[in-house]
Amino acid sequence: MKKVYLFNLLFFVILIGYSQKEFHVFPKTHSISPGKTTGNGSLNQPWDLQTALSQSSETVNGGDIIWLHEGVYNGRFYSKLSSIINGKYITVSSFPNEWAILNGNVSGVSEATLTVNGNNVTYRDFEISPTNLIIRDESVEGFLPFGGVSHNSGENCQFINLIIHGNNGLGFGSWKNTGGTIISNCIVYNNGYKGKKYAGIGEGFYVQNNSNTKTRILKNNIIFNNYYKGIEVWSANKKASNEYVKNINLDNNVVFNSGLVSGRTVDNVIVATNDRNGINIAKNIQVTNNIFYHNTTLSEAIENSDAPSLTLGFNNNSPVENINILNNIIIGRKDALRVLSAKSITFKNNTIYSGYARLFKPVMKYINNTSWIFENNTYYTRNSKPIRIQGEIDYSVKQWQDIYGLGINSKWKHFKEFTSNQKPIITKINTQENTYRVVLFNKEMNDVLVDFSEYNLPSESSYIIKDVENFKTVLASGKLNESSKVEFKMNVDRDANKSYNNFGVYYIEFKKNEKIETESFFERFLNWLGI
Give the per-residue SS3 of 277-325: CCCCCCEEEEEECCEEECCCCCCCCCCCCCCCCEEECCCCCCCEEEEEE
- Res. 514 pLDDT band, cuts 50 70 90: low
Task: Give the residues across from 326 on adjacent strands.
Answer: 288, 348
* CA distances to 74, 79, 80, 410 from 116, in Å: 17, 5, 6, 45
Mean pLDDT of 28-40: 94
Question: How does DSSP classify residue 438?
Answer: E
> Is the CB of residue 270 less than 8 Å from the CB of residue 233?
yes
Start-to-end CA span in the chain (Å) = 17
Average pLDDT over residues 481-501: 91
pLDDT of 13 > 70? The answer is: no
Mean pLDDT of the region 295-320: 91
pLDDT at position 18 is 44
pLDDT at 444: 92
Answer yes or no: are the C-beta atoms of 80 and 105 closer than 8 Å: no
Condensed to tens digits (0 to 9), the pLDDT of residues 360-417 reads 999 999 997 789 999 999 999 999 999 999 988 999 999 999 999 999 999 999 999 9
- Cβ neighbours of residue 433 closer than 8 Å, sequence gap 6 or more: none
At 513, is the pLDDT very low, low, confident or very high (cuts 50, 70, 90)? low
Question: Would you say 296 and 256 are in contact if contact means Cβ atoms under 8 Å apart?
Answer: no
Higher pLDDT, 527 or 393: 393
Task: Please say if the pLDDT value at position 528 is more than 50.
Answer: no
Backbone angles phi, psi at 218, to 5 degrees: -115, 115
What is the band of 460 on the pLDDT scale with cuts at 50, 70, 90?
Answer: confident
Q: Contact, 265 vs 302, CB < 8 A?
A: no
| Among candidate residues 250, 412, 259, 224, the one with its CA nearest the CA of residue 324 | 250
**pLDDT average, residue stretch 200-207:** 98
pLDDT tens-digit readout, 339-352: 999 999 999 999 99
pLDDT over 90 (residue 60): yes
* Nearest by Cα to 48 from 22, 78, 68: 68
The rounded distance, in Å, linking the Cα atoms of 204 and 185 is 14
Instruction: Please give the mean pLDDT across all residues of the chain.
Output: 92
For the segment 421-446, the average pLDDT, to the nearest whole number, is 93
The stretch 493-499 carries a mean pLDDT of: 85
The 3 state secondary structure assigned to 186-197 is: CEEECCCEECCC
Residues 95 and 288: their CA atoms lie apart, in Å, by 34
pLDDT reported for residue 2 = 45
Please report the pLDDT score of residue 19 as a whole number.
60
pLDDT digits (tens, 9 = 90+) for 78-116: 999 999 999 999 999 999 999 999 999 999 999 999 999
pLDDT at 302: 80
- Distance CA(119)–CA(89), nearest Å, equals 8
Number of alpha carbons in the 13 Å side-chain half-sphere of residue 175 = 14
